[in-house]
Chains A and B, each alone.
Chain A
Amino acid sequence: MTEAPLLDAGIAWFLLVAFSVLWIALGVWWGKRGKGDADDYLLAGRNIGLALSTATLMASWVTGNTTLAAPEVGYTLGLWGMLGYALAGLGLFLFAPLAIRIKRLMPTARTSGDFVRLRFGRVCWAVFLLITMAYTLGFLITQGMGAGLLLQALSGFDYRLGMVCVIGVSTTYTLFGGMRGVVGTDFIQSLLIMALLVLVAVLGYSRISVEEVYVALEAEYPSRLNMLLPAGLLFAWNTGLFSMGEVFHNNIWWSRVFASRPSVVFRSFILGGLAWITVPIVTGAIALMALATNLEVPQVNMVFPLITAELLGSGGAVVVFIIIFASLTSTLDSLLAASADLIAEDVVAHWLRPGISDAQIRQAARLVVVGLGLLTMLLSWQYVTSMFQLLLFTGPLVASTIWPIAMGLYWPQANRQAATAAMVVGTITGLLAYVLVAPYCAALVSAAVSAAVMGLGSHWNPERFDWRLLAGR
């Protein structure tokens, strides 16, 4: 990356230190609230309201990818890129009804692993843990690498310095604040991201009108307006199914269900989904201004920072820095907290050391937060371009969990052998489709095959599951 940084190093350092101190101070402060038991540390006391619940869903789902990859696909694919990316909001919408069922069915549970273990047994649980660990690790590493690369491009920081700073800050406030610190900072981070994106879009489109952008695209880049663009059509549903797989299986979203008040669970996922779908469209629309103004974009994944700095000057670069720093930290903290819950509860308390006390679970979760933070730094130390491909490779893994999770929540006939087979066969066929057909089809093939295996397996050999088994933990 040889281009001059968009932001003066002094300003960048000031912003980095100021926001790092703010997040850590707030995390520590919020961490001191509550009763201090394991439920408080892992799930913020299980009573968060609608505003915080919605905002934490927004902040966790607006990742570094949403602020960089969504404008990138808007720039390269145009409208289908924006709308296709927005379909990732489907995961949040469709999880809303499942969330109510989870909340009522499992009032004392802590993780998605608790559900899979109690509903489908230990074999399926082991497969599920492998899938979710592989996915989470890939996700953590891409966010860590994204942090290093972005700070390097925006401010000229050394890649490793930026990466260590962002992961270090997220790890520190997650460690001290637990879920309460994560949810509290997510609230501020999501409002910052949303308000600043609106500011950039409004200021940007006041410099060059929507009509001017349309005319320029129609004349120079008609493919960006083409609703029959093959690459765009391929992209669309894969994103939706990937998002469903991610949200249905990952403990980030299950922990939000357990942490929220029962009365707000459904509304928070619907509101969070509605708010989120506007983000990729807005960032994509901002990227379209780069095409309309013929801005030179040497690296397509930097289109959002470049056009914002071009239109709004150094103030724009400051805004981009804040948006991206908030996106990365809010996703990293959620991933760290939710993965620590999962490992402490599922691996430690239910596998390695059954019968440990609540205080020991809390302590284990804290150790896992630190361990995961360090592991992410270590694995992100050397930037490898194929890491993003690794994340895409996880699409079939997570898409294979959609039907086992949803059917397992609603239908007593949902069979445990079918659930295990659905995850394994869906993953394998999805990966084969990735390699042999196209990356765009991978999540789709995985979801379709796993749905067929789950549906037919449960039809031929129905289980008579006793729902009361889920009341415990």
Chain B
Amino acid sequence: MQTEWCMTELQQALLIFAIGAVVTLTTVIMIARGHARWHGRDPYDDPSRAASHD
């Protein structure tokens, strides 16, 4: 399927680079939040359950 693009090859590459950076950064943030959520806590003692009891 050949489609005419208005973007130059460099612009396309920069767009995909930026999307890749966003996906990677989002994944890093999710992991960092998850790690912080469980840091120093019993592995089975879920903070969300504790919060709902409070």
Asked whether A240 is an interface residue with its Cβ less than 8 Å from the other chain, the reply is: yes
In the complex, are the beta carbons of B21 and A244 less than 8 A apart? no
Using C-beta atoms within 8 Å of the partner chain, give the interface range for chain B: 20 to 34
The contact of A101 among B19, B32, B43, B48, by CB within 8 Å, is B43
Main secondary structure of the interface of A (DSSP, over half): helix
Distance in Å: Cβ of A85 to nearest Cβ of chain B: 15
Chain B residues, Cβ within 8 Å of A467: 43-44, 46
Distance in Å: Cβ of B6 to nearest Cβ of chain A: 16
In the complex, are the beta carbons of A451 and B35 less than 8 A apart? no
Asked whether A403 is an interface residue with its Cβ less than 8 Å from the other chain, the reply is: yes
A-B CB proximity, top 3 nearest: A237-B20, A410-B34, A230-B13
Asked whether A356 is an interface residue with its Cβ less than 8 Å from the other chain, the reply is: no
A100 to B20, CA, bound (A): 27
Asked whether A348 is an interface residue with its Cβ less than 8 Å from the other chain, the reply is: no
Asked whether B4 is an interface residue with its Cβ less than 8 Å from the other chain, the reply is: no
A471 to B48, CA, bound (A): 19
Given A406-B31, A410-B34, does the pair A451, B16 have CB atoms closer than 8 Å? no
Chain A residues, Cβ within 8 Å of B49: 412
14 A-B contacts (beta carbon < 8 Å): A105-B43, A233-B14, A233-B16, A234-B17, A236-B17, A237-B17, A237-B20, A237-B24, A406-B30, A406-B31, A406-B34, A410-B33, A410-B37, A412-B48
Asked whether A448 is an interface residue with its Cβ less than 8 Å from the other chain, the reply is: yes
Chain A residues, Cβ within 8 Å of B31: 94, 97-98, 406, 410
A407 to B27, CA, bound (A): 10
In the complex, are the beta carbons of B20 and A241 less than 8 A apart? yes
Chain B residues, Cβ within 8 Å of A448: 19, 23
The contact of B16 among A94, A105, A440, by CB within 8 Å, is A440
A241 to B26, CA, bound (A): 12
Chain A residues, Cβ within 8 Å of B35: 97, 100-101, 410
In the complex, are the beta carbons of B34 and A240 less than 8 A apart? no
